[in-house]
Chain A
């Protein structure tokens, strides 16, 4: 089981980075996983086109929460274009483990939330 719940994943789960919410964020989005009810919310503040501050909140399993925590570190300082370019593979690489089709939904939930927020950013 150590191969799956690797130390860095458990570390992010036990000591989440950038947890919380931001008032008046430029990108705010929340989504759930209908299979299990896990919820992730991301608040992103932009400054000169780059992510200057980011917070995540929500509840879920080790994989979805660790993925959210890692994603906040990953996207800090990135431009909106760089955020838009993020792929599923980037998340898998970040987690460093192979996820089956069911657990992939847990791991990808934070990225889906970010993508949902970015889509709305494009509308305004």
Chain B
């Protein structure tokens, strides 16, 4: 353990310009990373440099700028493929975000592979983005949508998964890491069981790829979706990884320019993978920026990122457990990411977040796009602190002090 590379959050903080700013006269403690992460200078500068020196549309122009832009865009794809250990670069599709990636699968794969009487399995801990597309698909084709139960400790009940897998299950779509509970689900186990039952599997990796090493090949999933903005990259760029053989037989999702082979007056053929799923001018600079984010995270190392967040979340859970009136959602035991949702007695999460903002501490308040999970756990809105590689124990102390101050105030 001692031989493992550790990250130095103080040194890393210098890479993130926004962390130097003050909020209401206090240094910013940014603890809303599950919503979105801040950007290192390396990413900001690559975006600027790309627009300053290399920008043009891609894949078409036979001129220097277009060739440079195309090379940079495709190089970003290679970086992303390597980062998630995607077996084939052709399976790495650039989308706008996780939501669009999941919708791509729901439309292009779902509407050709899921029919009346089939079952789609999700879980009770899904973000709305991995729930609503399947609700619509199920309604449209007459399929059944079933939910793997969540235990009171905030873990998936794998027995309920096994029960649901006995039937005409076409797809299991689940979140790798819960954006509310921080629970790291046993992805490999779930995927193996789903495959044994003949189902395809989509992993919502929006909260995992930014925070822990993810190996798409080892997971053996069919689809994996995540967003650039939660992993130090720009907004407007996300990724769908899909097995190329599945993507190959799927019809396109969005259609138009860029994704075609030959076009006649009445019909068209599709471009090869991955471009078949990248209709229209894509988010070129943002993809290049995501490539820079991947470089940045790779240089730090995802094992050290994971280890650092483990330290932080352990410390945060200890501190919050000591506080009267503070209730942490989910069990502190078991594998969990740096996400802590909690409530404070007689202080509404909105008011708590507002009070903490006055102290320069940024957290999230509400349902965190997971209303069914809150309902399952019998919760109204919650407050959520979520950590990343640049957060420190001192910031958790400030969170605790801010909560104490709010308890005195309200």
Contact = CB atoms under 8 A, between A and B. Distances in A.
B350 A36 contact: yes
A37 B377 CA distance: 14
B350 A37 contact: no
Nearest to B350: A61
Interface stretch (B81-89, B336-344, B351-359): B351-359
A36 B365 contact: yes
A10 B354 CA distance: 14
A37 B381 contact: yes
Interface in A57-97: 59-63
Given A61-B348, A62-B410, A35 B355 contact: no
A67 to B, nearest CB: 12
| Dominant secondary structure of chain A at its interface with chain B | loop
Contacts, number: 46
Contacts of A62: 348, 350-351, 410
A35 B410 CA distance: 22
A58 B380 CA distance: 13
A38 B380 CA distance: 8
Contact of B367 (A4, A5, A10, A35): A35
B366 interface: yes
A113 interface: no
Interface residues of A, number: 16
Interface string B156-193: 00000000000000000000000000000000000000
B381 A36 contact: yes
Interface of A: 1, 4-5, 10, 34-38, 59-63, 103, 106
Across the A-B interface, give the 6 residue pairs with the lowest CB-CB distance, nearest first: A61-B348, A61-B350, A36-B381, A1-B358, A36-B366, A62-B351
Given A5-B354, A36-B365, 18 more contacts: A1-B358, A5-B355, A5-B409, A10-B410, A34-B371, A35-B366, A36-B381, A37-B380, A60-B348, A61-B348, A61-B349, A61-B351, A62-B348, A62-B350, A63-B350, A103-B350, A103-B354, A106-B350
23 contacts: A1-B354, A1-B355, A1-B358, A1-B409, A4-B358, A5-B354, A5-B355, A10-B410, A35-B366, A35-B367, A36-B349, A36-B365, A36-B380, A36-B381, A37-B371, A38-B348, A38-B381, A60-B350, A61-B349, A61-B350, A62-B348, A63-B351, A103-B354
